[in-house]
Amino acid sequence: MIGIFDSGIGGLTVAHAIEHLLPRHSLIYFGDIARTPYGGKSRETLVRYALENTDFLVKKGAQIIVVGCNSAASVATDEIRKTFNMPVFEVITPAAEQAVAANKNGRTGIIGTRATISSGAYDRAIKKLNPDIRVFSQPCPLLVPLVEEGWINRRETKMILRRYLHSLKNRQLDTLVLGCTHYPLLRHLIQPRIGKKVTLIDSSIAVAMQLRKYLEEQSALAMETNEKRSYYVSDLTEASIQTAASLFRKNINLQLARTDHA
């Protein structure tokens, strides 16, 4: 069973991508809505949250962990791997690989939470693959709360996005990494504001593709399962229910998690 966690509902974009690419595999999702957003938290807090979330998924039967939160992935992946003896996937490395592969003019942009951008995780990952690529980063701290509130098409969201993307638009970018799994839900607003010629890299799809490749190499891709899918959240809101239904284009049963920390 594949276990996925995120700071809130944004990681459902990861779950959706995995369901699409791996329809025969079971998964369990945990969205920590009660403690979102993660982007402004300290490294120590993010590591603690990540370990607690992983423990919840493992106790529910997860055998593979996907860190669907860029903020947590940027600082806590190594700690998760040290603590839990199982495959752990994170969204940053595969997204960086796709950004480098798609880049043509040596100029890539990154948008993410303050925690993700300040960690420098994307910069390091991209420079490791191609040190000649110039990376331009922009923290976007207000976007996660806006998505969690369901303000996906509000005028205020459009105005804030335009403000965040203004400096990047003048950088002549070739690619832009959506360095938060909430951001694909704003893709329809981001693309016209950054420019139609800029290739958007979705970290949700990138990690799903990486996971599919791993299972294929392990000869587990075609393994039949009962396709059990469970979605847990640490707080249940009307906005989260509506956003999940909009993303999956069907009603999703979000269950309120009973955990030690939620």
pLDDT-based confidence at residue 219 (cuts at 50, 70, 90): confident
Give the least confident one: 65-79, 106-120, 147-161, 222-236: 222-236
List, by residue range, all CATH 3.40.50.1860 domains of the chain: 2-90+205-256, 92-203
**259 annotated as belonging to a binding site for a ligand:** no
- Is 140 among the catalytic positions? no
**70 annotated as belonging to a binding site for a ligand:** yes
Q: What percent of the chain has pLDDT over 90?
A: 89
Give the least confident one: 31-45, 131-145, 170-184, 206-220: 206-220
- Is 69 among the catalytic positions? yes
pLDDT-based confidence at residue 130 (cuts at 50, 70, 90): very high
pTM summary value? 0.92
Answer whether CATH 3.40.190.10 is correct for domain 92-203.
no
Site of tokens 């996971």? 211
Of 14, 72, 180, 185, which one is the catalytic site residue? Answer: 180
- What pLDDT does residue 207 have? 96
Would you say 60 and 28 are in contact if contact means Cβ atoms under 8 Å apart?
yes
- What pLDDT does residue 220 have? 65
Of 22, 50, 64, 69, which one is the catalytic site residue? Answer: 69
Please name the fold of domain 2-90+205-256: Rossmann fold (3.40.50)
**3 annotated as belonging to a binding site for a ligand:** no
The rounded radius of gyration (Å) of the Cα atoms in the chain is 17
**182 annotated as belonging to a binding site for a ligand:** yes
Mean pLDDT of the chain: 93
Would you say 113 and 180 are in contact if contact means Cβ atoms under 8 Å apart?
yes
Torsion region of 180: left, alpha or beta (phi above 0 gives left; psi -120 to 50 gives alpha) = beta
- What pLDDT does residue 223 have? 60
**20 annotated as belonging to a binding site for a ligand:** no
What number of residues does the chain have? 262
Would you state the structure tokens that stand for residue 149, as one six-digit string? Answer: 């509130």
